[in-house]
């Protein structure tokens, strides 16, 4: 199944990874204001707290994964009572009042076994490419934390061990581990019974709607109708339409249209295929039909989207 979390892994890549460089001695507090579409934070050593603006303060224990969606600034500290002393914006660190600093008081920029340096923090920002990826992220809260025991592997141990060694290919290995950490954390959070997961994610396990979603994802070019989808999942047209709308929050054709246009938007940016070829690939008769639907959805022509 061409599921959306797999597409997320394809269209999201780490950038600005800080590893084995942030060893802190309490009290400390770092504010991150990088305007990134997606950020990740994890303590490789020691515990702390994370506060995302407008979302409150939650503990961040060693190995826990915090995911921040959107450009909202956030603060990680040894205690919620500690005011930020450093603001991180990309490669630049400044004091709270805006002075650029080369050396940050309380931070040691190399691995150390000194117990006074009680926290080692890994942070990563991600570039996000793709309309399908945007659809995944729009369904998530601004901040989520997945406890270490919920992850299927000891992420902090693996990344910490790699970061502690200086070997060829280290950056590539850490990037791949971060890919795995991000998608594993999102999947674990989405699978929680109490998580406000997007409707399409919940619906994938339904015995009627789930197979229909898989059919649309796997073969968007097929001339699907509500009746054809209902026949594939062995229920009446009325039953299928009602169940799909109840679980997904939109009609089957509305969902299919959005899926096709998301794919088209990504193909326009990521390939050199003609608009006509892309139209056929995602289920439109020709370039004109795709252009009309694309302009209605995004208020821009496919050719302009490609140039943009």
Mean pLDDT, all residues of the chain:
83
pLDDT digits (tens, 9 = 90+) for 283-297: 999 999 999 999 999
Among the residue ranges 5-9, 105-109, 214-218, the one predicted with the least confidence is: 105-109
- Cα–Cα distance between 206 and 94 in angstroms, integer? 50
- Return all residues near 256 (Cβ < 8 A) that are at least 6 apart: 216, 220, 224, 283
Q: Within a 10 A sphere around the Cβ of 6, how many other Cβ atoms? A: 13
For the chain, give the percent of residues with pLDDT over 90. 36
Token pair listed for 7: 């597409």
Is the bond into 269 cis (omega within 30 degrees of 0)?
A: no
74-91 b/e with 16+ CB inside 10 Å = b? bbbbbeeebebbbbbeee
Among the residue ranges 3-12, 31-40, 164-173, the one predicted with the least confidence is: 3-12
* Cα dihedral across residues 14, 15, 21, 25: positive or negative: negative
- pLDDT of res. 104: 47
pLDDT digits (tens, 9 = 90+) for 160-178: 788 777 778 777 788 888 8
* Cα dihedral across residues 200, 204, 208, 213: positive or negative: positive
Which carries the bigger pLDDT value, residue 72 or residue 256? 256
Among the residue ranges 73-77, 118-122, 212-216, 282-286, the one predicted with the least confidence is: 118-122
- pLDDT of res. 256: 95
* Cα dihedral across residues 275, 277, 280, 282: positive or negative: negative
Phi, psi of 169 (to 5 degrees): 80, 10
- Residue 14 pLDDT exceeds 60: no
- Cα–Cα distance between 24 and 41 in angstroms, integer? 15
DSSP-assigned beta bridge partners for residue 43: 62, 121
Closest CA to 63 of 172, 189, 181: 181
Closest CA to 86 of 126, 37, 68, 77: 77
- pLDDT of res. 105: 46
Which carries the bigger pLDDT value, residue 292 or residue 123? 292
DSSP codes joined into one string, 184-238: HHHHHHHTSTTS---HHHHHTTSTTHHHHHHHHHH-TTS---HHHHHHHTTS-HH
- DSSP label at residue 148: G
Q: Is the CB of residue 129 less than 8 Å from the CB of residue 11?
A: yes
- Cα–Cα distance between 227 and 207 in angstroms, integer? 17
Which carries the bigger pLDDT value, residue 75 or residue 88? 75
pLDDT digits (tens, 9 = 90+) for 184-227: 898 898 888 888 888 888 888 899 999 999 999 989 999 999 99
- Return all residues near 209 (Cβ < 8 A) that are at least 6 apart: 203, 233, 243, 244, 247, 248
Q: Is the CB of residue 174 less than 8 Å from the CB of residue 163?
A: yes
Torsion angle of C-alpha atoms 224, 225, 230, 233, degrees rounded to 10: 0
- Domains contained in the chain, CATH given: 4-190 (2.60.120), 201-307 (1.10.10.60)
Which carries the bigger pLDDT value, residue 166 or residue 270? 270
Q: What is the mean pLDDT of residues 267-294?
A: 94
């Amino acid at each position: 199944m061409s599921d959306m979390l797999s597409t997320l892994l394809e269209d999201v890549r780490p950038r600005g990874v800080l590893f084995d460089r942030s060893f802190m001695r309490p009290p400390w507090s770092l504010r991150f204001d990088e305007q990134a579409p997606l950020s990740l934070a994890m303590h490789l050593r020691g515990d702390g707290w994370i506060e995302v603006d407008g979302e409150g303060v939650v503990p961040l224990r060693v190995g826990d994964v915090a995911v921040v969606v959107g450009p909202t600034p956030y603060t990680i500290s040894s205690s919620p009572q500690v005011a930020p002393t450093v603001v991180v914006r990309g490669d630049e660190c400044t004091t709270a009042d805006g002075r650029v600093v080369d050396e940050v008081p309380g931070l040691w920029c190399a691995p150390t076994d000194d117990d006074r340096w009680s926290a080692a923090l890994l942070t990563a920002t991600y570039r996000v490419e793709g309309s399908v990826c945007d659809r995944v992220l729009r369904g998530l809260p601004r901040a989520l934390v997945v406890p270490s025991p919920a992850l299927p592997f000891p992420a902090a141990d693996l990344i910490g061990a790699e970061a502690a060694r200086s070997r060829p290919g280290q950056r590539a290995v850490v990037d791949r581990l971060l890919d795995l950490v991000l998608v594993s954390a999102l999947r674990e959070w989405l699978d929680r019974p109490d998580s406000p997961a997007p409707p399409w994610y919940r619906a994938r396990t339904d015995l009627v709607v789930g197979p229909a979603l898989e059919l649309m994802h796997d073969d968007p070019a097929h001339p699907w109708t509500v009746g054809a989808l209902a026949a594939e999942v062995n229920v009446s047209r009325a039953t299928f339409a009602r169940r799909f709308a109840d679980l997904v929050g939109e009609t089957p054709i509305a969902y299919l249209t959005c899926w096709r246009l998301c794919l088209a938007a990504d193909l326009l940016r990521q390939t050199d295929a003609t608009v006509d070829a892309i139209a056929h690939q995602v289920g439109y008769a020709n370039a004109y039909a795709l252009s009309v639907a694309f302009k209605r959805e995004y208020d821009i022509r496919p050719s302009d989207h490609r140039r943009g």
